[in-house]
DNA sequence: TCGTTTTATCTAACACTGTTAAAATTACGC
DNA sequence: GCGTAATTTTAACAGTGTTAGATAAAACGA
């Protein structure tokens, strides 16, 4: 027997469904996403899609996983492009790539971090590993920078609260558990700062306060780099 | 003529609709919100609600405006409770009140900052003034702290990028335009940092990295206070 | 008190949504 | 060509927001 052909066909159909879903999402926003609309555009009917996805939630989850991967690849590529430079420059590159991806794919980004579909409940155990991948890029840079002595930890980050240090022990088994606690901690707070700026910008909430959001973000990334203890370059 | 009675009755009906919407939202999440469900619980039918709200979007907008006000009041109260203390302590109180409100009202908070309803498009011109109110609490504290000399601005925040300084001029007319640029800037970046932490926590994305989110938040607020230049207390 | 007018609510209908069951079609191996 | 398994369709159910038109209720003037 030769199951390849049918299996491949099945995978292709899944991809086509996701692609049309993404197209609809891009054209009409989250409101335009519906099984019937996807099916119609593909020249079939809605119940037919149930042979490829158990429900629309499963489809959305698949889209989310893809988007997380896409974000991670964008971030990893940005890091790789400046891999020869120091940790500070790599972090700056990663931060801007992260924001760039969010601004270029606002619906996907809200899909990842805003759960804009009311009936949809994100299966965190499935999506979290995908979300973790981007985070690990940042954490790895911090880890390397700490090891190389590029970072002179300021007082407020030198000694972590004992509750937090303790919580790192629970990470055993997860990818990245071998990274030093300070790297994980600095990556977490950097992520949160980054994320806050991007979300407020995506929802047009910070533009009325700070008109030039590009300058704001660039300035804050630089401030972050200094505040975590990178010695000012040249 | 005596339009009071009818007008009051009309306002009461609007309030009752919003209250049942909030109850439904709290009980079943964003997916449970529907005109028919609201109407059924109130003992009437869905089209009847159209005499009080032009559409379900108008209703959601009203809920959002109320929620923004509620958040602002919580934040203002927290500030007022420690009004006699210094700026640093006031900021810490405000930050924790902000997070507390978000954690206690997750659906409302996502309504404000996550637009979880796909068909809903937020009329930013209407909602922004309400959103601004909480922000102004923080900005005012910074303004006062700067004026009183409580803040020794670090190098990265002393001289703002010219594009940003310029964008503040466009604020003329808006409430808060009389605040010094540094206060607005510091408030904006503080807001973003705060917001990022809260959002990641609400979506359970940061717990797998930092188990003790309470400690993380408290620690980061303290770090923020120092990094914006508050001289360490005692 | 009797109309009249305004306000409020209902019924019926339309075009959607996700989902299920059963029937019909297509494709594949023998 | 036949039988089996994989796909896809039709029909239906229970929802959704929304509109139009009829109906009920309240308020007002004579």
pLDDT level of residue B1 (50, 70, 90 thresholds): very low
> Is there a domain that residue A200 lies in?
yes
* Residue A158 beta carbon within 7 A of nucleic strand D: no
Determine how many CB atoms are found less than 10 A away from the CB of residue A5: 8
| Nearest residue, CB atoms, A167 vs list B128, B203, B211 | B211
CATH of the domain at A138: 1.10.357.10
| Nearest residue, CB atoms, A164 vs list B30, B171, B212 | B212
Tell whether the model's pLDDT for residue B166 goes beyond 80. yes
Tell whether the model's pLDDT for residue A1 goes beyond 50. no
B38 and B113 housed in the same domain: no
Mean predicted lDDT score pLDDT of chain A: 91
Enumerate the β-bridge partners of residue A151. A230
> Is there a domain that residue B234 lies in?
no
A75: exposed, middle or buried (Cβ count in 10 Å: 0-12, 13-18, 19+)? buried
Specify the number of domains making up chain A.
2
* Residue A48 beta carbon within 7 A of nucleic strand C: no
> Is there a domain that residue B207 lies in?
yes
> Is there a domain that residue A99 lies in?
yes
Q: Which domain holds residue A80?
A: 68-227
Chain A residues close to B140, C-beta within 8 Å: none
A86 and A195 housed in the same domain: yes
B31 and B99 housed in the same domain: no
B126 contacts B67 by C-beta, under 8 angstroms? no
Measured between CA atoms, the residue of chain A closest to residue B155 is A223
Question: Nearest C-alpha of chain B: how many angstroms from A5?
Answer: 38
Mean predicted lDDT score pLDDT of chain B: 91
A179-225 pLDDT, tens per residue?
Answer: 999 999 999 999 999 999 999 999 888 988 898 999 999 999 999 99
Measured between CA atoms, the residue of chain A closest to residue B197 is A192
Chain D bases near protein CB atoms (7 A cut-off): 6-11, 15-21, 27-29
CATH of the domain at B48: 1.10.10.60
B110-161 pLDDT, tens per residue?
Answer: 989 986 566 677 777 888 889 999 999 999 999 999 999 999 999 989 999 9
B182-199 pLDDT, tens per residue?
Answer: 999 999 999 999 999 999
End of a domain among A54, A76, A98? A54
Best CA proximity match to A146, nearest among A178, A177, A182, A190:
A182
pLDDT level of residue A45 (50, 70, 90 thresholds): very high
pLDDT at B234: 45
| Nearest residue, CB atoms, B212 vs list A33, A167, A220 | A167
> Is there a domain that residue B4 lies in?
yes
pLDDT at A115: 63
pLDDT at A56: 95
pLDDT at A170: 75
B132 and B218 housed in the same domain: yes
Tell whether the model's pLDDT for residue A85 goes beyond 50. yes
Cα gap A158→B229, rounded to integer Å: 18
pLDDT at B117: 62
């Amino acid at each position: 027997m030769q199951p390849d052909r049918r299996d491949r066909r099945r995978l292709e159909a899944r991809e086509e469904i996701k692609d049309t879903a993404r197209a609809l999402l891009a054209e009409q926003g989250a409101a335009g996403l519906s099984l019937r609309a996807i099916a119609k555009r593909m020249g079939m009917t809605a119940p037919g899609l149930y042979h490829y996805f158990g429900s629309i939630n499963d489809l959305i989850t698949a889209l989310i996983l893809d988007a997380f991967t896409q974000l991670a690849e964008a971030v990893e590529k940005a890091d790789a492009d400046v891999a020869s430079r120091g940790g500070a420059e790599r972090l700056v590159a990663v931060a801007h790539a992260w924001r760039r991806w969010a601004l270029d794919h606002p619906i996907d980004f809200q899909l990842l971090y805003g759960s804009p579909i009311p009936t949809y409940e994100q299966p965190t155990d499935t999506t979290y590993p995908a979300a973790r991948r981007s985070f690990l890029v940042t954490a790895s840079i911090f880890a390397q920078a700490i090891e190389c002595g590029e970072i002179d930890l300021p007082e407020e980050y030198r000694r972590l609260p004992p509750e937090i240090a303790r919580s790192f022990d629970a990470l055993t088994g997860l990818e990245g558990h071998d990274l030093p606690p300070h790297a994980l901690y600095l990556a977490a707070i950097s992520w949160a700062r980054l994320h806050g700026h991007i979300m407020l910008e995506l929802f047009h909430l910070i533009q009325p306060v700070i008109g030039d959001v590009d300058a704001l973000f660039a300035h804050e990334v630089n401030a972050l780099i200094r505040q975590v203890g990178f010695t000012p370059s040249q």
